[in-house]
Amino acid sequence: MRWVFVKGIWPIAVTSMAVACAASAPTPQSAEPGSEDGSPSPAAVESGASDEAVGDEAVVGEPVVDEPVGEVPVVEGQWRPSLPTVSLETLDEDEVRRGSACFETHGVTELETGAEGLMAGAACLRDARSYGKEIAVHRMIIARFPEDPLAAEAMRTMGLRFEQMSNWSSALDTYETYVEMYPKREDARALGLRAVCVARVLGDGRREEEMLGDLKRLYGRKGFVRPKAEQVAGLCGETDGE
């Protein structure tokens, strides 16, 4: 067994048969009674404590049209195709009401709710721009249903959401873990390429090199060619001013 610890999602154990989540949280809050799997308790999610999950998201610009995504964009010759920017403006009263209704409508606070129901709840919270709570529900799915295909979908969507909010560190943590846990999934390679570019945004040369090495190891036989150092900036869409 090998443990993978990341800041952006719950500590995760990788085995040859299954993936199980460790019982500790990356955020300052501790799990409440009844959340032995390390996932946020329903009460914590609904109360708003889960807003800590968005970390350094509070980079608020001009209001924009929200087009949150769940699929990894792929463009030939680009490692990090742009994502729609989400608005981090303060929620209005209608959005607050819509977000609160998501818990009852989809049974988010019910311990017997399955992965599919929680995923629907996360989508509902996304539509209400309750991104912190959406991310917390994704964490619940990963922790409670690690072998369900929806756990991979939750992790992928969570990483993309972090990147949309310019929470680069959590996005990189999540992408790295996704590639480690799901290297054979169709979108793993694309997320690995994004991880290289996000590491460059953070100025983390070590993690950039590590991911490039992982991509070569995992996908070299499938056509991945490690580019020269001077080519990576162009592949990541960087300009001279960045």
Nearest of 3, 4, 24, 8 to residue 169 by alpha carbon: 8
Q: Which residue has the higher pLDDT, 5 or 187?
A: 187
In this prediction, residue 28 carries a pLDDT of 28
Nearest of 207, 209, 206, 159 to residue 181 by alpha carbon: 159
Residue 241 lies in a domain: no
Question: How does the average pLDDT of the chain come out, rounded?
Answer: 81
Nearest of 144, 153, 204 to residue 7 by alpha carbon: 204
Identify the band that residue 120 occupies on the pLDDT scale cut at 50, 70 and 90.
Answer: very high
* 4, β-bridge pairs: 12
- Average pLDDT, integer, range 67-77: 88
Identify the band that residue 33 occupies on the pLDDT scale cut at 50, 70 and 90.
Answer: very low
Q: Which residue has the higher pLDDT, 24 or 81?
A: 81
Q: Which residue has the higher pLDDT, 126 or 52?
A: 126
Least confident interval from 18-22, 182-186, 210-214: 18-22
In this predicted structure, the answer to whether residue 111 has a pLDDT above a threshold of 80 is yes
In this predicted structure, the answer to whether residue 242 has a pLDDT above a threshold of 60 is no
Cα distances (Å, whole numbers) of residue 39 to 11, 157, 241: 10, 17, 41
The SS3 of residue 57 is: coil
For 137-196, write each residue's pLDDT tens digit: 999 999 999 999 999 999 999 999 999 999 999 999 999 999 999 999 999 999 999 999
**Pair 120, 43: CB distance under 8 Å:** no
Residue 126 lies in a domain: yes
Residue 242 lies in a domain: no
DSSP label of 78: B
Residue 131 lies in a domain: yes
In this prediction, residue 38 carries a pLDDT of 62
Least confident interval from 4-13, 118-127, 211-220: 4-13
107 token code pair: 């049974």
Range list of H helices, 107-148: 115-127, 131-144
**Pair 107, 136: CB distance under 8 Å:** no
154 token code pair: 């939750």
User: What is the domain count for the chain?
Assistant: 1
Distance CA 128, CA 85 (A): 15
In this predicted structure, the answer to whether residue 50 has a pLDDT above a threshold of 90 is no
Residue 67 lies in a domain: yes
Distance CA 184, CA 219 (A): 10
In this prediction, residue 240 carries a pLDDT of 56
Amino acid at 99: G
Those residues whose C-beta lies under 8 Å from the C-beta of residue 190, and which sit 6 or more positions away, are 72, 74
Amino acid at 17: M
Write out the residue range of the structural domain in which residue 146 sits: 2-235
In this predicted structure, the answer to whether residue 109 has a pLDDT above a threshold of 70 is yes
Identify the band that residue 67 occupies on the pLDDT scale cut at 50, 70 and 90.
Answer: confident
Q: How crowded is the C-beta side of 64, counted as CA atoms within 13 Å?
A: 14
Residue 57 lies in a domain: yes
Nearest of 119, 171, 164 to residue 140 by alpha carbon: 119
Residue 24 lies in a domain: yes
DSSP label of 61: -
In this prediction, residue 85 carries a pLDDT of 85
Residue 240 lies in a domain: no
pTM assigned to the model = 0.80
DSSP label of 225: -
In this prediction, residue 233 carries a pLDDT of 96
The SS3 of residue 1 is: coil
In this prediction, residue 73 carries a pLDDT of 94
- Cα-Cα-Cα-Cα torsion 65, 154, 42, 1, nearest 10 degrees, comes to -150
